[in-house]
Amino acid sequence: MKLQALSALILGALSVESALIAESRLSDVLLQMDTGFSRKEEPIKKISVSYESEPLRKLDQKQRELVDSAWNGISKSYRYNTIKEKLSKYSKHETFRGDSNSVESKFKEQAAFLPGQKLNPSKGKEDKEGEFEVLNNHKFDDYSLRIKKSSPEVLGLDSVNQYTGYLDVNSLGKHFFFWFFESRNDPENDPVILWLNGGPGCSSSTGLLFELGPSGINSTLQPVYNPYSWNSNASVIFLDQPVDVGYSYTEQDAVTNTDDAAVDFYTFLELFFQKFPEYRKNKFHIAGESYAGHYIPRFASEIINRADRSFELTSVLIGNGYTDPKTQDQYIRPMVCGEGGYEQVISDEECKSLERSSKNCERLGGICYNVPTAATCVAADLYCSRLLDPVSKRNINVYDIRRNCTTDLCYDEMEYLSDYLNSDFVKKSVGASESVEFKDCNDRVGLNFFFSGDSRKPFTSYVSELLDNDIPVLIYAGDKDIICNWLGNHAWVLDLEYEHSYDFKRTTLAPWTVDGKEAGQVKNYGGFTFLRIYDAGHMVPFDQPENSLAMVNRWINGDYGLNK
């Protein structure tokens, strides 16, 4: 979630010179413009890319023109006042300084939130003494795990045993928050699931209190019991990552890409299973949605390639994931133009325009895939994010084509959970740092990933690696989502090459039933499954709680065809 709101911020941020030059990550992108800023809503003059360095010099002239066009097509449509309003929320300075001597100095003054910059510390250091048990491991001497057992009756979310705490990266001042709920059924023997939300930059507490956790939060900030919680038959961990998301916080640089995040993720699991060695024998699954389509394949690869790991990975589950951007973005037009099982929601003229734009998006995506630099991948993201413009201008919810979007995140419940988690009572109960302001989604983190080029890169090769190592993979998608829709997810799984891809492609979509009623369509061969879930948007457990629990229970019980 949050991809669309982040796109709007990015489009604005990239129209000013201070937000464009992200030091080494965008060193090939140069800005040519008149000196200083004017108070007259003047756009910047030109953005150009230097193609003198490797690997950018590999691009031919047509490819270079397309990349330059993507940068400049965005910049010319955004004006000074719009940019000032958007950047003032994230910059240390409330006004632009038009008299600076260089682009570099302007960047350092005004864009402290971009990659490579020291964060302006607004979150105090956690007191590690007292109520937390602290664990260390000689293999990870820079890491420690703080953990405390919470009293279930205090918050009333569930009656099961609960634990909260932080993974601390001591030398770097990074602190990752987690919340663990034991199974309602048989925690000694039930599987363990770790849940990740996407963004990038959104808290997994969204999954906890909005989708699949033991309780939701209502408008009076009271917990509402969820009978379809995923901890009905599994113990569930909710991890706020990357750092600076949710209750997690950092005193130095934030993580800017999925590769770096994978190392912290793996270390957390090693220390977690050190604390709870009894769970090492249980089956362990990683699940998530949206940008977790990036996270989960890479994180799972990190696990299986660690020869000295102390636990085993059983499977992964990815819901409405963003895994193959070049392929998936080609299916935004079909989804909004009536070819995805729902009526057309934009005009015929806009559908024709989207068809042309989608071809350019695919070309830019191919350039990013073949020459994966920040200059090429950010250009692709800038251009392709505009495919959603016809939908957004109508206030259609990009996470659910059936709904309108009236707030930043389109769901009132997101505001309820933020208010709840920002209350002093809740912070004290879970041991969160008092000075941390909980944010369901942190745009600064999202921008970091965006400017590193991470968000446009494919992660399908890691899915192939998992399957070829006999790790089952479930790709499920609510069929009313627009932004990471079922058509695009179905397309990339059909294109995926792995040992049994021929056999998988030969299977057909078959009816998927829950309690005797058709609830979707399923395609399966061996340990690889694609599931379309009817009448669900981007957040399947929110829209179809009963059916999502049926899916999970079948999967974690080894029914990879989801038929029993």
Q: Is the pLDDT of residue 225 over 70?
A: yes
φ, ψ of residue 415 in degrees (nearest 5): -70, -35
- Structure confidence by residue, pLDDT tens digits, 266-285: 999 999 999 999 999 999 99
- Structure confidence by residue, pLDDT tens digits, 472-516: 999 999 999 999 999 999 999 999 999 999 999 999 999 999 999
Query: What pLDDT, on the 0 to 100 scale, is given for residue 156?
Result: 93
Q: Is the pLDDT of residue 406 over 90?
A: no
Which DSSP symbol is given to 79?
Answer: -
Q: How far apart are the first and last CA of the chain?
A: 31
Mean pLDDT, rounded, for 309-333:
98
Q: What is the largest CA-CA distance in the chain?
A: 70
DSSP letters for 117-132: SPP---SPPP--SSS-
Of 82-86, 368-372, 536-540, least confident by mean pLDDT is 82-86
Rounded Cα distance between 383 and 119, Å, is 28
Query: What pLDDT, on the 0 to 100 scale, is given for residue 306?
Result: 96
Query: What pLDDT, on the 0 to 100 scale, is given for residue 52?
Result: 77
Q: Is the pLDDT of residue 86 over 90?
A: no
Phi-psi region of 442 (alpha: psi -120 to 50; beta: other; left: phi over 0): beta
Q: Is the pLDDT of residue 111 over 90?
A: no
Position 210: which residue type?
A: F
Element spanning 48, H or E: strand 46-49
- CATH second-level architecture of 161-326+413-443+456-556? 3-Layer(aba) Sandwich (3.40)
Query: What pLDDT, on the 0 to 100 scale, is given for residue 396?
Result: 95
Position 297: which residue type?
A: P
Query: What pLDDT, on the 0 to 100 scale, is given for residue 57?
Result: 83
Spell out the residues 6+ positions from residue 46 whose beta carbon is closer than 8 angstroms to its own: 31, 32, 33, 72
Of the ranges 84-98, 201-215, 405-419, the best mean pLDDT one: 201-215
Tokens of 26: 């965008």
φ, ψ of residue 18 in degrees (nearest 5): -65, -25
DSSP letters for 425-455: HHHHHHT--TT----SB-HHHHHHHHHTTGG
Mean pLDDT of the chain: 83
Q: Is the pLDDT of residue 42 over 80?
A: no
Pick from 320, 307, 275, 250: nearest CA to 482: 320
Query: What pLDDT, on the 0 to 100 scale, is given for residue 256?
Result: 85
Identify the residue with better confidence: 339 or 253. Answer: 339
Rounded Cα distance between 154 and 427, Å, is 12
Query: What pLDDT, on the 0 to 100 scale, is given for residue 82?
Result: 37
Q: Is the pLDDT of residue 77 over 50?
A: no
- How many C-beta atoms lie closer than 10 Å to residue 380's C-beta? 29
Contact 190, 196 (CB under 8 A): no
Q: Which residue is it, tokens 């999502």?
A: 548
Q: Which pLDDT band, with edges at 50, 70 and 90, does 71 fall under?
A: confident
- Structure confidence by residue, pLDDT tens digits, 357-405: 999 999 999 999 999 988 899 899 989 999 999 999 999 999 999 999 8
Q: Is the pLDDT of residue 347 over 50?
A: yes
Q: Is the pLDDT of residue 6 over 70?
A: no
Element spanning 361, H or E: helix 348-370
Of 136-150, 190-204, 463-477, least confident by mean pLDDT is 136-150
Tokens of 423: 């209350």
Reduced to 3 states (helix: H, G, I; strand: E, B; else coil), residue 351 is helix
CA geometry: angle at 269 spanning 228 and 204, to 5°? 40
Contact 482, 336 (CB under 8 A): yes
Reduced to 3 states (helix: H, G, I; strand: E, B; else coil), residue 153 is helix
Pick from 418, 415, 420: nearest CA to 221: 420
Query: What pLDDT, on the 0 to 100 scale, is given for residue 1?
Result: 60
- Structure confidence by residue, pLDDT tens digits, 294-303: 999 999 999 9
Which DSSP symbol is given to 231?
Answer: G
Give the predicted TM-score (pTM) of the model: 0.84
Of 81-90, 160-169, 374-383, least confident by mean pLDDT is 81-90
Return the domain boundaries, the chain.
1-120+346-393, 161-326+413-443+456-556
Based on the number of CB atoms within 10 Å of its own CB, is 11 exposed (0-12), middle (13-18) or buried (19 or more)?
buried
Q: Is the pLDDT of residue 331 over 90?
A: yes
Position 533: which residue type?
A: I
Position 167: which residue type?
A: L
Which DSSP symbol is given to 255?
Answer: P
Mean pLDDT, rounded, for 212-217:
97
Q: Is the pLDDT of residue 87 over 70?
A: no
3-state helix, strand, coil in the chain (%, to 5): 40, 15, 45
Which residues are identified as catalytic? Answer: 290, 481, 538
Mean pLDDT, rounded, for 160-168:
94
DSSP letters for 258-291: HHHHHHHHHHHHHHHHHH-GGGTTS-EEEEEETT
Identify the residue with better confidence: 323 or 127. Answer: 323
Please state, for a pLDDT cut of 70, what percent of the chain lies above it.
81
Mean pLDDT, rounded, for 223-248:
95
Mean pLDDT, rounded, for 218-236:
97
Identify the residue with better confidence: 405 or 196. Answer: 196
Q: Is the pLDDT of residue 265 over 90?
A: yes
Q: Is the pLDDT of residue 89 over 90?
A: no
Rounded Cα distance between 49 and 381, Å, is 16
Query: What pLDDT, on the 0 to 100 scale, is given for residue 74?
Result: 57
